[in-house]
Amino acid sequence: MTYSDYLQLDNILNSQHRLSDHHDEMLFIIIHQSSELWMKLILHELYAAIGCIRENDLEPAFKMLSRVSRIQQQLIQSWDVLSTLTPAEYMQFRDKLGYSSGFQSYQNRLIEFALGLKTPHILSVYKHQPELHEQLQRAIHEPSIYDVSIQALAARGLSIDKACLERDWSQDYQPNASVEAAWLTVYRDVNQYWDLYELAEKLVDIEGRQQQWRYHHMLTVERIIGHKQGTGGSSGVTYLKRVLDHRFFPELWSLRTAL
């Protein structure tokens, strides 16, 4: 077996097919393909971390979550490369994309579901792909990493409202006073709850990087197409600005004011 055989480089390196003759379409394709590979690894790590936390085996999850935040940094930096594409250059091949759009990235949706952003209406985007639609349906009904972290708080004897522990996982998480109180207990007694404290900080790292990724995404899109509608029909920059206000783990941020 050779290096090329092991990595199946022929398949990977022969998967960049430009639909135009424009030089910069290669940049556009490779940035998005490599981002999807990094997202695949994020999901691999997130799902494993969720499994560890559900089994009350927190320490292995710390390494996995640290890796996720490092991968996110790679994704953030990829926007710097894509931003070398100017508006005039992009307009030379944008029409070749048809209705395809990064908004349709199912791996990005799976990451959002795993982090706790549940948007059932978005599933309609994938109805024409039955197997993928079913996969997303299953994923949206699974507890997020924050849900299992809240369950870990309860398992350690911290008081959590029953409604948080037995809620409909397919719905977006809403802040809860009992969850903030539990995290405050953890932060006020780090020695007793060091593992839960470490888990919380790993989650904060991931949310911080996710917000940076969103922000750089928005800036790059605005830089290249301004406020035009996205190729897939989304509102483009307007939508990207709106999601910047969303918090995945709200109590981990609000407790900082209360602490």
Long-range CB contact pairs, 105-108, < 8 A, 24+: 105/36, 105/39, 106/132, 106/135, 106/136, 107/36, 107/39, 107/40, 107/43, 108/39
Contacts of 242 (CB under 8 A, 6+ apart): none
* 28 labelled ligand-binding: yes
Is 94 annotated to bind ligand? yes
**Is 220 marked within a binding site?**
no
Q: Is 2 annotated as a binding residue?
A: no
State how far the Cα of 113 lies from the Cα of 197, in Å rounded to an integer: 23
The answer on whether 231 is annotated among ligand-binding residues is: yes
Report the interhelical angle of 130-140 vs 106-115 (nearest 10°): 10
Q: Is 167 annotated as a binding residue?
A: no
Consult the annotation and say whether 224 binds a ligand: no
C-alpha radius of gyration, the chain, whole number: 20
30 annotated to bind ligand = yes
Residues 48 and 45: their CA atoms lie apart, in Å, by: 5
- H helices of 83-172, in order, are 87-90, 106-115, 130-140, 145-155, 162-165
- Tell me: is residue 206 an annotated ligand-binding position: no
List, as residue ranges, the binding site: 28-32, 90, 94, 217, 231
**Which residues does the annotation place in the binding site for heme?**
217
Binding residues for substrate: 28-32, 90, 94, 231
